[in-house]
Amino acid sequence: MVGHYWLRSPERAPDSELTDTIRASLESIQHFAKDVLDGRLKPPNSECFRKLLLIGIGGSALGPQLLYQALESPKKDGQPASGLETYFIDNTDPDGMGRIFSKLGNAFEETLVLVISKSGGTVETRNGLLETRNVFEHKNLNFAKQAVAVTGEGSLLDKLAKEEQWLKVFPMWDWVGGRTSVTSTVGLLPARLQGIDVDAFLEGARLMDQHTRNPEIRQNPAAMLSLMWHHAGAGKGERAMVVLPYRDRLESLARYLQQLVMESIGKEKDLNGNVVEQGLTVYGNKGSTDQHAYIQQLREGRSDFFTTFVEVLEEPV
């Protein structure tokens, strides 16, 4: 069962119980984040939470990273205008984790740790969790009183968080894939803690869903885009897709699309078991940066790509 689109239109879920579950989850996210941001829920050794450390990998990090970069409010006096300043551990590199810990410095006592893992046993995420816990213990801080989990019910992480009495455990459902989880708790909880208007984000996703259901192909942007991808890649991804957004806020978009597209359609076999070995390679960065990097090859080298340009129609003042 695949139903990530129910997350922005709960009434489309197959039964009323699931509809109520989705709505209750969103309400729980809103209440929890409001308690954190208003200072009602606070860490033991500080007057409030000011930082957020998100530990996850793949869809558990790429979606939240994209939302934070694309939709965060402008900073005032070096601090986020309405939410928690956010750091990410999305790799198992000890040096990378050490750099994040150094940036946080003495701010661990005011840092909320959000651990996201559907299975609860992802090695990279568990390593990040263990290293972060070690830092808390070294600083004589109570990790459980500053930790939140987003995970599947009954997972190793779910059991650990409940056993140690973490602040909160939020659900990840089997019918939501990691690469499509940005409108679930995976994306919404960190976004709300960052001060992002998640109701407006969900409404935008819902409106886009409506466009993609249009049976008139030429009026359906998703159908037109997929047809173009199919045509440009001769039906098997023979050409790579270069994503060129000309906005700093969308720097993470290509990395997000890499997982979303390549994990979705990169397949060895078709539904009938025939070996097809097809997919679509995605890469990109920022338009202007790319123009002074690899566009020389795109213009004069091998004709093995097509380009998707991304235009921002409206920007915050």
CATH fold match for the domains 4-202 and 215-310: yes
What pLDDT does residue 313 have? 82
Q: What is the CA radius of gyration of the chain?
A: 21
What pLDDT does residue 190 have? 97
Per-residue pLDDT in tens (0 to 9) along the chain, 317 residues: 778 989 999 999 999 999 999 999 999 999 999 999 999 999 999 999 999 999 999 999 999 999 999 998 766 555 556 799 999 999 999 999 999 999 999 999 999 999 999 888 889 999 999 999 999 999 999 999 999 999 999 999 999 999 999 999 999 998 998 899 999 999 999 999 999 999 999 999 999 999 999 999 999 999 999 999 999 998 888 999 999 998 889 999 999 999 999 999 899 998 899 998 889 999 998 888 888 888 888 888 998 999 998 888 876 55
d(CA 35, CA 254): 34
What pLDDT does residue 84 have? 96
Q: Is the pTM of this model over 0.85?
A: yes
Q: 143: part of which helix (H) or strand (E)?
A: none
- What kind of architecture, by CATH, is found in domain 215-310? 3-Layer(aba) Sandwich (3.40)
User: CB-based contacts of 23: which residues, under 8 Å, 6+ apart?
Assistant: 10
What are 214's two structure tokens?
């249009």
Q: 55: part of which helix (H) or strand (E)?
A: strand 51-55
Overall size of the chain counted in residues: 317
Kindly list the domain boundaries of the chain, sorted by start residue. 4-202, 215-310
Write the DSSP symbol of residue 176.
Answer: S
> Residue 150 in 3-state DSSP?
strand
User: CB-based contacts of 185: which residues, under 8 Å, 6+ apart?
Assistant: 25, 29, 150, 170, 171, 172
d(CA 96, CA 280): 30
Q: Does domain 4-202 have CATH number 3.10.450.50?
A: no
One-letter amino acid at 23 equals: R
